[in-house]
Amino acid sequence: MKTTYQAYYQYELKKLINENIERLKEALVSSYQIEGFDFSGYRHQVGRVEGLRMALDLCEDAEAIVNGKE
């Protein structure tokens, strides 16, 4: 039962992270088309996307450790 909960939790967490990445990417494209280019703001948003991608990678690493693959 606990394994099922953990798998479901991980699935939902990854789904939320991916949705957030897509939302940030869409905001990046639309805001810079409308408002013009602000390099500082652009870097901040890209950094947020990269941080979320890193979180996804860490989820995969944690799953590998739990499954005895590392």
Q: How many other CB atoms are there within 10 angstroms of residue 35's CB atom?
A: 9
pLDDT of residue 2: 61
Asked if the model's pLDDT at residue 32 lies above 80, the reply is no
Asked if the model's pLDDT at residue 36 lies above 70, the reply is no
CA distance 53 to 5: 23
Taking the mean position of all CA atoms in its chain, how far away is CA 64?
Answer: 18
CA distance 70 to 67: 8
Residues with Cβ < 8 Å from 17, sequence gap 6 or more?
52, 55, 56, 59
- For the chain, the distance separating the N- and C-terminal CA atoms, rounded to the nearest angstrom, is 24
Percent over 70 (pLDDT), the chain: 87
